[in-house]
Structure 1
Amino acid sequence: MTAPEYPGGEEGLLKLLAQNARYPSQAHIAKNVGRAIMQVTIDAEGRVRDIKAAHTDSPYFEKEGARVLRLMTRWKPAEINGSPVSSTYLFPFTFQMRGADGNELPLPKDHLTEVHEKLLADAPHQPVYLAEEIVIVGLGVVKAR
């Protein structure tokens, strides 16, 4: 079995996500912190399909995660015994912010392990892969106009 591969490999994927992910302005103003664990299907042709939140602490985080993931181009699909197959990829986005005292605001519980285990149990024959955590940091507090 071989994992799906993004053009430019993991480095290319992380570069795309890092350069394009933004802290949602509504969440920033409200000082919301949290996570969005986004689930994506990479089909047997390498197309990105079915982008959805497997878990989210805010609809703003889900919307931003989906927006950034829609920027991905076609992948080299996963293979089993030399044949391309669909696979599931999880992308954990963490939205972190510092408070007025300079300390990071506390994050809600991380559900990544639970989500990963549930996917493996629900579809044991479809490969599930996990991307590196993408951390988006909100600096300061934006004033509402």
Structure 2
Amino acid sequence: MPKLIGFDKARLVSCFLLLFGLGCLQELKAQSLWEYQQEVFAFRSKQDSSLLHGTHSPLLSEDKKNYAGLTYFTINPAFKVSATWVSDKERSKSQLIADEASGLIKFGEVHFQLHGEPFKLGVFKQAEKQKGLLYQDSLIIPFYDGTSGGETAVVGRFLNVAAPQEGDASLWLDFNKAYNQPCVYNMAYTCLTTPEENTVPILIEAGEKTFLKPKDKGTLPVEVMPEFPGGTFAMFAYMAKKFKMPKDVSKSQGVNGAVVVSFIITTEGKVTDVEIVRPLYPSIDAEVIRVIQKMPKWKPGTVNNVPAAVKYTIPYRIVIK
């Protein structure tokens, strides 16, 4: 049976109450909320400075003229989580070939929990240094999440981490410091491919949003995103209920991973133009399309209170038990 790891809305609400009602979060007890916010603001200031004044900034000269800063989600300490480091000392021949093709070499993994769900992400280093990429010498965690292709770039985002000292397997992951690749600002740059394993099938509403050209700021294409009846959690529950595992898929095939699918919500709230952005397995891809095409009407997105067609992208994770 497939297992869909969805967005646990109830858990997130309780987390918000803890943060802003009591002003305390267990992981951040040694650092005040104000101090943490200043830390993230300093990180973001460095991002802006590097893009505007850096020697290898990927920003086009025309974008620098009217540059007014990047766009971010509101700082949320719930997205700074403790993680456990797992080294990856041996790679198979096929994995090494995949590493070379993506431009990233796997260095290890981090295991963590977010909203009560367990996840793991691969940690990589660049096969060759890429101009314009911030923090050239850091280890990189490229990742997709439920915002990819919507509020954040379709190619995913990056986190940087330092390898723990020998004998210490603990470290922090701070998604409030997630940032974009150079190709998001300038199409002349090549995007590094985010490995399929690095998909977190929930909404990580933290860190940098997709880049808007300075001339386009203030004229956002969508002011209010479309909404599935009952919200995001209800959408994931609907998909888990309606999805039927294809008969040609068996445990022996080892089909596990995420299908990234996009579709358009029309001004009437209908689902159209369903397409697979990142495939997993042909019959599974087809079943995901079928389920989404059968969705009930959504509450459409709006621009200045006028209904607008919106392209929506989500990851659908399959785990065969």
TM-score by length of 2: 0.29
Aligned to 2:300: 77
Query: What's the CA shift for 1:42?
Result: 0.3
Q: Which residue among 205, 228, 231 is the counterpart of 1:9?
A: 231
Which residue number corresponds to residue 153 of structure 2? Answer: none
Show the 5 A alignment for 1:20-35. Answer: 20-28=242-250, 30-35=253-258
Aligned to 1:92: 315
Instruction: Indicate which of 286, 293, 298 corresponds to 1:63.
Output: 286
User: In 1, Cα distance between the equivalents of 2:317 and 2:284?
Assistant: 9
SS of structure 2 residue aligned to 1:26: coil
Does the CA contact (< 8 Å) of 1:41 and 1:51 recur in 2? yes
Name the amino acid aligned to 1:4.
Answer: P
What SS is found at the alignment partner of 1:27? Answer: coil
SS of equivalent residue, structure 2 residue 240:
helix
- How many residue pairs get aligned? The number is 98
More relative contact order, 1 or 2 (CA 8 Å, 6+ apart): 1
| Aligned positions of 1:41-52 closer than 5 A | 41-52=264-275
SS at match of 1:15: helix
How far apart are residue 57 of structure 1 and its match? 2.4
Q: Which runs of 5+ in 2 are unaligned?
A: 1-222
Contact residue 46 and residue 75 of structure 1 kept, 8 A? yes
Rg larger in structure:
2
Q: Identical aligned pairs, as a percentage?
A: 26
Following superposition, the deviation at residue 14 of structure 1 comes to 2.0
Quote how far apart the aligned CAs of 1:11 are.
Answer: 2.9
Partners of 2:272 and 2:293 within 8 A in 1: no
Q: What is the one-letter code of the residue matched to 1:51?
A: V
Q: Tell me the TM-score normalised to structure 1 length.
A: 0.61
C-alpha displacement of 1:72:
0.7
Name the SS of the counterpart of 1:92 in structure 2.
Answer: strand
